[in-house]
Amino acid sequence: MSEAFLELERVNVWRGDEAQVAALSEVTMTLRTGESVAVLGPNGSGKSTLLKLLTGALRPEVRDASSCRLFGEEHWSIDDLRHRIGVVMPEEVARFDPLEEAFDVVLSAFRGAYGRTRDMRFSKKERVAASRAVDRMGITSLISREYGALSSGERRRFLIARALAHDPEVLVLDEPSTALDFAAATELSMTLRELIGSGHTLVLVTHDPGEIPPEIGRVVMLRNGSVLADGSPRRLLRSERLSELYGLPLKARWSRGWCEVRARE
């Protein structure tokens, strides 16, 4: 059986400083390499919190009968995780200096930095790996451009290339189509399908069932910090279940492997 990269057993995560919020409550799930997963849920349901657990940015509440393992370990180093998990979070888009050369954005992955600082030196091996990731994303012709001069879709591709630079075992994408127009979102979706097709394990976080590509074989539905359902898209992405998830009457229709959802009239 393939390796479990996330094993949660009755996990709670609290967020906030003074007034603490239970962002995840009693969550149990196992995610394995080789199986791409969509994490689906409305705003505030705990999707980003789950990703932050997965990338080691947040820790769960410590208590008996609860455990959180990443790649089989209860104790992990962020550095190790950075090599094994590539992440693209929506807030990252604006973190880079617009004057930065686009290729440097990708290279900065090797130092865990947001952009290149003048004293950073990169080995030939790192440069080759970054070039390969850029090539994979079809943006080689743009590498000398300023990051700030790229379109939103192009920037997103550079960030995915940055996440792929380490050749990670798992690629985590949090709402990757945010702020993309229809054409850019469609292109991105094709890229995600290719990545899964070429053997990458994707964890795709979205609030939109219509964004889940047919290649994704598992959906985890989160609501109010708990797992509402976990199973195949065909079984879960149905009118009744989606209406329950979002708290309003919805109608789901399947077409060529995609689920289209609209409000029930």
Instruction: Tell me the backbone φ, ψ of residue 141, rounded to 5 degrees.
Output: -70, -10
Residue from 10, 12, 33, 44 touching ligand ATP (CB under 6 A): that is 44
144 binds ligand ATP (CB under 6 A): no
**Shortest Cβ distance from residue 90 to ligand ATP (Å)?**
8
Scanning residues 5 to 24, which ones bind ligand ATP (CB under 6 A)?
A: 15-16, 21, 23
Q: State the virtual CA torsion across 148, 152, 158, 164 in degrees, nearest 10.
A: 150
**Shortest Cβ distance from residue 245 to ligand ATP (Å)?**
12
Binding span for ligand ATP by CB under 6 A among 45-53, 115-123, 127-135, 150-158? 45-53
Binding mask 175-214 toward ligand ATP (x if CB under 6 A, else -) reads --------------------------------x-------
Whose Cβ is closer to ligand ATP: residue 111's or residue 207's? 207
Binding span for ligand ATP by CB under 6 A among 44-52, 76-84, 102-110, 161-169? 44-52
Q: Is 93 exposed, middle or buried (0-12, 13-18, 19+ CB in 10 A)?
A: middle
Residue 244 CB: number of other CB atoms within 10 A? 15
Rounded Cα gap, residues 99 and 84, in angstroms: 29
Residue from 5, 7, 45, 130 touching ligand ATP (CB under 6 A): that is 45
Q: Give, for 44, the enclosing helix (H) or strand (E).
A: none
Residue from 46, 176, 213, 233 touching ligand ATP (CB under 6 A): that is 46
Q: Which long-range contacts (CB under 8 A, 24 or more apart) does 49-53 make?
A: 49/13, 49/15, 49/23, 49/24, 49/225, 50/24, 50/205, 50/222, 51/87, 51/89, 51/172, 51/174, 51/203, 51/205, 53/6, 53/8, 53/11, 53/13, 53/24
Residue from 36, 49, 55, 189 touching ligand ATP (CB under 6 A): that is 49
Contact yes or no for 116/108 (Cβ under 8 A)? yes
Whose Cβ is closer to ligand ATP: residue 39's or residue 129's? 39
Q: What pairs with residue 29 in β-bridges?
A: 8
Rounded Cα gap, residues 102 and 87, in angstroms: 18
Whose Cβ is closer to ligand ATP: residue 13's or residue 216's? 13
Instruction: Tell me the backbone φ, ψ of residue 26, rounded to 5 degrees.
Output: 55, 45
Whose Cβ is closer to ligand ATP: residue 23's or residue 130's? 23
**Shortest Cβ distance from residue 44 to ligand ATP (Å)?**
4
Whose Cβ is closer to ligand ATP: residue 15's or residue 218's? 15
**Footprint of ligand ATP on this chain (CB under 6 A)?**
15-16, 21, 23, 41, 43-49, 207
